[in-house]
A and B are shown apart, each in its own frame.
Chain A
Amino acid sequence: MIRLTDLHKSFGTNAVLRGVDLHVPKGESMVVIGGSGTGKSVLIKCILGLITPDSGVIEVDGQDVTEADRDAFLARFGMLFQGGALFDSLPVWQNVAFRLLRGSLKRPKSEAREIAIEKLRRVGLSSDVADRLPAELSGGMQKRVGLARAIAANPEIIFFDEPTTGLDPIMAGVINDLIREIVTEMGATAITITHDMASVRAIADDVAMLHAGKVRWSGPVAQMDDSGDPYLHQFITGSAEGPIEAIR
């Protein structure tokens, strides 16, 4: 379970998070939506400790993350980055097995390679790509490799940052289905940030909308269309008319 209480983060004079409260129950798939620049990425980077919040409390399973053992804490997480963030200098299989080749989760090289190939297969990639470099793969394949890396160490909590950005609609659908399947199969707690409404409907159990640095609306995905919130309604219908200002 992840709980954020009154989270604040500013960059200079730009207050990005202005008191975010969010609760993600264990095993649930939460999708955070919101316009560009509303602090979605900042939110998950705060949870992971990549950005230090100005104030507020972040708890995972009731424990304040600032008091947790950092390595043990991070070992519970997997993350798919927006651009994949694959290591250019390493072949695909070593990217996937990165965590299994070093540190506390280290395994023998042959075993790590086997696990990497199994995870690649899980995301629909054959073992042929294992020895290629990331630059030799298409955008969709890189996303899949990133997904395989995120799940390689069987994390309890997985974050997906804009998983379908830059992909064609068919590949986006494939990635959405994969994420849903994997999260269900692993029983993991997931937070996905996106502004792709097809992703939201495919992945989410619950939805939270960030606007003006706060959670504007949150609830089950089934209630999203009948929320009665004009901000959420404008966002999910993609309308230029409404309370959210669109710069033309």
Chain B
Amino acid sequence: MSRLLAAIGATTLGLLAAIGRLALFVGETLSHLFRPPFYPREFGHALIQIGYFSLPVVGLTALFTGGALALQIYAGGSRFDAQAVVPQIVAIGMVRELGPVLVGLMIAARVTSSIAAEIATMKVTEQIDALVTLSTHPMKYLTLPRVLAATLVMPVLVGIGDIIGIFGGYLVGTERLGFNAAAYLKNTADFLTRLDIISSLVKGAVFGFIAALMGCYYGMQSDRGAMGVGRATKSSVVAAAILILAANFLLTEAFFSA
């Protein structure tokens, strides 16, 4: 019994220590936001890497998800003669939930892993130490540009994902399920509210922050050697995915609980 209690205690202390380390990391990252020097080249590079080069994966994910969603809603709705709600449910489903969450998870897979692997490799090859000896703060040079870029560019990616997802539903609805094109678009536009769109973009910003932060955090914490880099990469993606899903629940609760 005492061994069980000791194990629970050790796990709890470990968890609290990890939360503390992460909180300090977030605090240090944000503390560099308004303190020069700034690295606009690094920021621009991160914007392109995280934003522009993620467009294909975001677009394809949203397109197929929107199409599948339309088919499912049509099939489910037909059980109680409610097939006509396909445009509205596709729109609300994509904009409120699937758009931001799926884009967030794809970014966690594509961007978080790449950031963690890159920074962890820099750490094990002493490039982070070299930065310090060259009077360059690693948090300012590596972490802040990536976190800032992901936070700013993710709402754009989510917005594009939402539109492409709705377009996927529209394609399936009009080409396969017999919906009138103009009516489909009108129903979609009429049904969506400003709050739906704002919630989607805010979720995007929060998920972008989480995705880049986890990549940087685990990269900087990496152990030595190839195993250390592998472990840092894996942990960063798992942590980012779980935190994105948890944050999604909290944000949905905050925006839409009656």
Contacts and interface: CB of A to CB of B under 8 A. Distances in A.
A71 B135 contact: yes
Contact of A103 (B37, B121, B127): B37
A79 B130 contact: yes
A79 B131 CA distance: 11
B127 A87 contact: yes
A198 interface: no
Contact of B135 (A50, A86, A99, A149): A99
B132 interface: yes
Interface in B149-188: none
A85 B135 contact: no
Contacts of A71: 135
A187 B91 CA distance: 71
A102 B121 CA distance: 23
Interface string B99-136: 00000000000000000000001100111011011111
Contact of B126 (A75, A77, A81, A88): A81
Interface residues of B, number: 14
A113 to B, nearest CB: 15
Interface in A69-96: 71, 74-75, 77-79, 81-83, 85-88
Nearest to B132: A50
Interface string A185-210: 00000000000000000000000000
B125 A50 contact: no
B52 interface: no
Interface centre among B125, B129, B132, B135 (most CB of A within 10 A): B135
A49 B37 CA distance: 20
Contacts of A103: 37, 135-136
Contacts of A99: 134-135
B125 A102 contact: no
A48 B129 CA distance: 10
Interface of B: 37, 39, 121-122, 125-127, 129-130, 132-136
11 contacts: A71-B135, A74-B132, A74-B133, A74-B135, A78-B133, A81-B130, A85-B127, A86-B127, A88-B122, A98-B136, A103-B37
